[in-house]
Amino acid sequence: MGLANIEELYNDCLYHIFDFLTTEDRIIFAQVCHRFRQLFINHCAAKYRVYTLDKDSSRLELIQFCICRETVECLTIDLDHFDTARCYRTYGCETPENCFQILCQTLAGMLRLEHLVVKQESMLVTPIQKPFDQILTAVRHLPKLRRLEIRARDANFRTI
């Protein structure tokens, strides 16, 4: 056989190896090179074609979602995910605004995104300024975006 390194293996062999990796190792695998990233996307993309980012989404799941961004067709973003107190409790993250900025950068690369829903069901405790404006700025040039829904409550908790 005489293979010099793992990059010379056939895709079938790499998929077999991939099945034994932990989530963290799969993410690292996807960051090695373009070919490995594409294998990751081919393996995981179905999960992220229609995706909901909510308060229960884990950090590792978000990273995988960002890697598969080109395959997302329908996305729901629940802004409660970026509540400062919840982020700190769940991830030990003190800066949800950094996570939000990564999300906005990821949104700009979602070339297949057709349907976007942005929800804010409760009052957020977060330093993120004008989250709806930032999201709209991120998606303004997406070629396939045909439907945008914004669900929010005003200060008196009325749905608008």
Spans of all domains in the chain: 1-45, 49-160
Contact, 49 vs 71, CB < 8 A? yes
Other Cβ atoms closer than 10 A to 109: 13
What is the three-class DSSP state of 9?
Answer: coil
pLDDT of the residue at 62: 87
Using CA atoms, how far apart are residues 132 and 129, in angstroms rounded to an integer? Answer: 9
Q: Could you tell me the end-to-end alpha-carbon distance of the chain, in angstroms, rounded to an integer? A: 64
pLDDT of the residue at 160: 42
**Residue range 62-121, pLDDT digits in tens:** 899 999 999 999 999 988 877 765 554 555 455 667 788 889 999 999 999 999 999 987
| Joined tokens for residue 35 | 């070919």
pLDDT of the residue at 86: 56
**Residue range 122-134, pLDDT digits in tens:** 766 666 788 889 9
- Residue 153: exposed, middle, or buried by beta-carbon count in 10 A (0-12, 13-18, 19+)? middle
Against a cut of 0.75, is the pTM above it?
yes
Q: Nearest to residue 126, comparing CAs of 159, 78, 160?
A: 78
157: pLDDT strictly greater than 60: no
pLDDT band (50, 70, 90) for residue 15: very high
Question: What integer is the mean pLDDT of 15-28?
Answer: 94
pLDDT of the residue at 129: 80
pLDDT of the residue at 37: 95
- As its CATH architecture, domain 1-45 has Up-down Bundle (1.20)
Bridge-based pairing of strands 147-152 and 50-53 is unpaired
